[in-house]
Amino acid sequence: MRRKRLPHPRRPRRRAEPGAGRLAADTQANRVELSGTLAELGPLRHTPAGLPAVEFLIRHASEQVEAGQDRRVNAEIQAIAFDTLARQIAAMQLGTAVKAQGFLAAKSQRSAKLVLHVTNMEFLEGV
């Protein structure tokens, strides 16, 4: 008679504690530069502190080289901007070509989803 196999208990994923293994200041790089077009644009709103904010979506398409091979890259990334930059972006038309610079951060304390916090944006013409 054959024995029934018991299911193997799932091991929880191991995660480093926040702040564990702190890195030297020069290794804490978090900079992103991405070109694309404004694909979605939320309304201009204000934070509880009164700071203007706008959420938007950047659609990117390019060809990159990976492992010596050409690769077509299509991506969409959620982004947010504050203050004067938020006002400028809120006045833009959908489809406007842009080059955004900023850093990545979690959308909220309860969500690990990444959002690009735009600190500088160039509005490209004729692209």
Is the pLDDT confidence value at 98 over 60?
yes
> What pLDDT band is residue 96 in, cutting at 50, 70 and 90?
very high
What CATH code is assigned to 31-124? 2.40.50.140
**pLDDT tens digits, one per residue of 40-69:** 999 999 999 999 999 999 999 999 999 999
> What pLDDT band is residue 11 in, cutting at 50, 70 and 90?
low
Is the distance from CB of 116 to CB of 77 less than 8 angstroms?
yes
Radius of gyration of the chain (CA): 21
Q: Return the pLDDT at 27.
A: 72
Q: Point out which residues pair with 104 in neighbouring strands.
A: 116
Domain spans of the chain, in order of start: 31-124
**pLDDT tens digits, one per residue of 64-80:** 999 999 999 999 999 99
* More reliable by pLDDT, 5 or 79: 79
Beta strands in 69-110 (DSSP E): 69-82, 97-108
Q: Return the pLDDT at 125.
A: 75
Q: Return the pLDDT at 7.
A: 65
The mean pLDDT of 26-38, rounded to a whole number, is 91
Mean residue pLDDT of the chain comes to: 89
Q: DSSP letter at 86?
A: H
Q: Supply the pTM of this predicted model.
A: 0.77
Q: What distance separates the 2 farthest-apart alpha carbons in the chain?
A: 76
